[in-house]
Structure 1
């Protein structure tokens, strides 16, 4: 079928696409959102546990994530927010260390006392950086070694960089790390404890509320529409999915840049395709366990043991109570890796068998009969690799082709990708884009 001509078709039904649609509809334009999956939300997808929706990939916001807070207020959902102090810790050298407050940091014995002070000062220094562009010529490794020294880097930062970016760890820009330190340092209570925000019923529930508002304003959201090609004609764009065709005066792509490159390769210049392909992405595999018992009292456990395959063990029910999920304790095991890695192709049973010995070593009391259920989720385009001089790698939102625009997670900079900034960028392009009439 061919749908009636729209002013704008948005490719991708995550928070960026939905928020852009909302703002364009407010401006009076006709909008259709095409989503390849069977549900909206993108990386904020969910599944059911105990009758309640649960995020496929763990999510939270910081208290200084103002863009998402404003959207929640606009949708009349402020009462659905949960704001709590959280227990943050580190697993290092077969020991657990609490790292939720400045006092916890002073007790972090793997580092000598003067290095604990240097580690604590890092966040303060990061928050005082005004000109982040001065950091673009440095890698995170170089910058962190300058600020904290070799011991702090080896114990604290190197395992986390390798856990997050794998083979690209030493390529990551200082700007990426600076923003992480700045953001976390600004989400604390009066006692210095970290305070985080969750949305009742999962982030997908917020995405659904946003989608509902889009439809109320006259927008259309069509699921299971995987766009395979864009065709440019003299007066419109023809959008080809695996099953249908759509036409629009304008197209906004919110998906990973290489996917867009594949859609336009028949007419785009090789130079522009190379621009879309120059940013690397790393994938993610996330094992979600429903357990009879809790593993620990820690919500977010950074794993700084290089022999352990996961960057973090996140016990979600140390933030949102287990009763929400029929009494189950929810644990996420997150692994960032290239999509070509063998682990990326494992099924749920294989991945669980692979993971169990590591969990058993970390939590000796843990037994297989604690596992009520397990779920495995993959994200091929989970995280852009932010390298040195990343600002030069990002394509402009306006492409060389009239009426085709890009608004993707790879363009969120100097901040890192996340729901808050996806909403910010969606609002920005929806409010300011010069629509081809």
Structure 2
């Protein structure tokens, strides 16, 4: 097995950690045909070494093993769905809620990391001339300007190729696969544990192709080059899901905006999503010091201002959160494990329950080794949903590649999405009937 096999089977998420392991230093990250970032190798590239830090390498330690190494001694609790944890919270930052996509907790943590000298720099996603990219950031004012969600492919490539030349410690934020790559790098090179003392994990619903942003821009009426993309423009008078996408047309500076609810379900359908995400079983970013996501649960989802789910895993993360609560900088409620899991119920249903079917249909099963407790057989109707989602994901990319016009794209995708909607309704009906039947049996 090698990095080439990962690429051939579309299991690369573009983390870029492998680039720093190329002894020839000839590999680099490039955009592929589907507009995802992937490594491009040369004849000189040392593929086996690169494979040694790939988060999708089935022969390396999984999230359970890595979680024990990094958090077993510092976390007081463990759950087989969310991993090791200390505290569970929901709420927001008083200071950063207004300027953030959800509750502003990430920006608050970033500020404290710098102010408390936990790290000297942050390696976080910022806007660039070509969209977004990871950049080194050390100024609090800069941090405050970039507290927004980004649904654009990015890569950690520069972190590991340049980290030896960076003076001081670096804190990093990332999605699950990126965080796993960081932990694999730290396991291989223990010096990186001190160099990267804190990792902020973003709970991820799946990585999107750059074509996703092109689609949103066209849907908003922008048919030329754009910049200043905002994926989550809040409506504070409404509820959490009622937000807009906006971008600025480069030619004339005009702002284009569209209600995301008018476009339908962009996540449950798998539109423009990476294939690799269908084989990720880490829903809650189990290897980060602190995991942050949207609080999609009652009553927190009723506020258009936004709320965050917070899972602390390291003692340092728990200390930062408790200090914020004590100083009334953070408005957080302690919540139950059940509420945390419920906040990402859609992701758990898809990633865990649908895993067995997707593995069964995967052409190269030797590349897939997932935790057995998440692999279970499901009903025929549930599997029909998974099959249709796989088709929807694949077709959304191929249709856009062949004809990047949102109007034509919508026409082509319509029958696929209608079919998926029907299967989802049947699945929900079946679930209700099963629940009703179990309740009746329990009452006897």
Question: TM-score, normalization: structure 2?
Answer: 0.24
Question: TM-score, normalization: structure 1?
Answer: 0.24
Instruction: Say which structure is richer in strand.
Output: 1
Q: Which has the higher contact order (CA 8 A, sep 6+)?
A: 1
